[in-house]
């Protein structure tokens, strides 16, 4: 299951998604505060070990400081 959407701001330790393998569920969390730049999987997708699942970038990486002009 996917707990975030592209564009969401997340803090370190925030749940990004939960994957299931051989009936075991594993929580994937953010390693640092960031913005979800891209989700590379959808519910039900199959993927190989080591595949990138989500791309995070610095919250200000898009050049917008909190969306204010």
pLDDT-derived band at 62 (thresholds 50, 70, 90) equals low
Pairing of strands 34-39, 54-57: antiparallel
Pairing of strands 9-10, 34-39: antiparallel
pLDDT at 65: 47
pLDDT at 58: 86
Q: Is 45 left (phi over 0), alpha (psi -120 to 50) or beta?
A: beta
Interval 19-52: pLDDT, tens:
998 899 999 999 999 999 999 999 999 999 999 9
pLDDT-derived band at 17 (thresholds 50, 70, 90) equals very high
| pTM of the predicted model over 0.75 | yes
């Amino acid at each position: 299951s996917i707990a975030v959407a592209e564009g969401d701001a997340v803090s370190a330790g925030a749940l990004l998604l939960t994957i299931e393998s051989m009936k075991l569920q594993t929580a994937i969390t953010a390693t640092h505060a960031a913005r979800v730049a891209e989700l590379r999987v959808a519910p039900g997708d199959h993927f190989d070990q080591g595949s990138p699942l989500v791309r995070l970038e610095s919250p200000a990486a898009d050049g917008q400081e909190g969306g204010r002009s």
